[in-house]
Amino acid sequence: MTKTFISVLLFYLVIGWEVAAQPQKKMVEVQVAPTREGWIYETGDRVEFEVRILKNGQPLSNTEIRYQTGLEKMPPEKEGTMNLKNGIGTIKGGTLDEPGFLRCEVWVEYQGVTYHDWGTAGFDPEEIDPTVEMPADFDEFWRSAKEELATWPIDAKLTLQPDLSTGEINVYHVDLQNVRTSWRGNSRFYGMLSVPKAPGKYPAILNVPGAGVRSYGRDDRAARGVIVFKIGIHGVPVNLPDEVYRSLGAGALSGYQNFNLNDRDLYYYKRVYMGCVRAIDFIFSLPEFDGETLAVTGGSQGGALSIITAGLDDRVKYLAAYYPALSDVTGYLAGRAGGWPHMFMEYDRKKYPDWVETVGYYDVVNFAKKLTATGWYSWGFNDHVCPPTSMYAAYNAITAPKELHKFLETEHWTFPEQRVQGDDWLFEKLGVKSSK
């Protein structure tokens, strides 16, 4: 079973984006990295990748490796084998003549087990332009959708969860009225609300989810003096037994990312995006909310929804987005990597002629252009699920205040220190005590 397969499998199966595809220690470790500090090159520069094969922390002598280099998610441009006499070697990766990312993947077999890793070099990544087009009526489309949502009452139903509440936090299961759709009728939106028990007015965090379907519980960040509303996106209560979500994920909600992608008005994510706006409506209705200080955060699909929600609703003042999905998904049509869920990787235009038009209304890039909220962003260069080319295409479109925190070797996971940095940035902006 390859490292890529395991990472992607864990991404879909684990509960919550926070622990998605965390790395696992193996008997033999393959390390691949560009030789230049910072992993950044200018177009035309030539990159070399250092390879180390380790066992018990020491180089493994006389190791035969197989390697390939090329653009992320694209067919390899160069393949070969090499013997590492001392367990350490260098692979010439070539160059790029336009901004993008060049990846080197290495495989080694030891005692019948195949080990795999990769490293990725960026070439002028801050010059990467998006490929997705901005529809002429983008603003009107979403203005109309929000106006329709506003015609429906919030109709919030809160149910206290005594088993999840603590001496400092009250936890509620929340049921909201979302926008109604012709194909779903009365649509609801669900989440789990954590509120400090002490009387007062508090800032709030809207926590948006990674891909999949799951339950949610208490968020202990509320003990620091902040309201946290963690939402699901599927119109399913978020306090059901886990077997319900496993059944939905393998059945009715399998592949939801492409549901009705042929129609901009019926595409699955329209109801999701409006649900995120409705979640903000709900937060602003809370008597404990300070009425102003709101942030949104999440990773992967949640990173995308953080940018999208802030782009749709200027009531969001701050956002922290980790490896955002749904970014520049049309990259494949221009011969480079596109963002998750990779619907254009093997695209059949004759079979799905309307997909390109529809995604223009939903791609993170076009919401990034609308941002006014101050943002903290973070990802790594080795992400196979959300390729850095796609994420930079969105990041480079942002004109609002922004800062990017690169954790180069991470794939579709975060270091604990990375998460602490993101949370501390949010807490500072929200005016609440940090973790230190």
Strand 402-406, strand 28-34: pairing: unpaired
Is 383 a residue of the active site? yes
- Among 7, 187, 194, 300, the active-site one is 300
Tell me how far CA of residue 46 lies from CA of 42, 43, 98, 311, in angstroms: 9, 8, 13, 38
- Among 383, 384, 390, 423, the active-site one is 383
Q: Given CA atoms 109, 111, 112, 113 in this order, what sign does their dihedral have?
A: negative
Could you give the CA distance from residue 23 to residue 5 in angstroms, rounded to a whole number?
A: 13
Is-contact 36 381, C-beta < 8 A? no
Helix (H/G/I), strand (E/B), else coil: 404? strand
How is residue 125 written in tokens?
Answer: 């990544």
Is 423 a residue of the active site? no
- Among 173, 234, 384, 412, the active-site one is 412
What length is written for the chain? Answer: 436
The DSSP 8-state label assigned to residue 93 in this structure reads E
How is residue 68 written in tokens?
Answer: 């390939």
Is 300 a residue of the active site? yes
Strand ranges, E, within 124-198: 157-160, 169-177, 188-196
Could you give the CA distance from residue 394 to residue 389 in angstroms, rounded to a whole number?
A: 9
Tell me the HSE value of 430 on the side-chain side, using a 13 A CA sphere.
34
- Residue whose C-alpha is closest to residue 64's, from 104, 119, 107, 111: 107
DSSP for 69-86 reads EEETTS--SEEEEEEETT
How is residue 9 written in tokens?
Answer: 């499998």
Residue 294, beta-bridge partner list: 204
- Residue whose C-alpha is closest to residue 313's, from 301, 325, 296, 329: 296
Q: What does the CA dihedral 190, 196, 199, 200 come to, rounded to 10 degrees?
A: -80
Could you give the CA distance from residue 253 to residue 320 in angstroms, rounded to a whole number?
A: 27
Tell me how far CA of residue 432 lies from CA of 224, 393, 401, in angstroms: 7, 32, 21
Q: What is the CA radius of gyration of the chain?
A: 22
Is-contact 375 296, C-beta < 8 A? no
- Residue whose C-alpha is closest to residue 227's, from 158, 181, 177: 158
Which positions are catalytic? 300, 383, 412
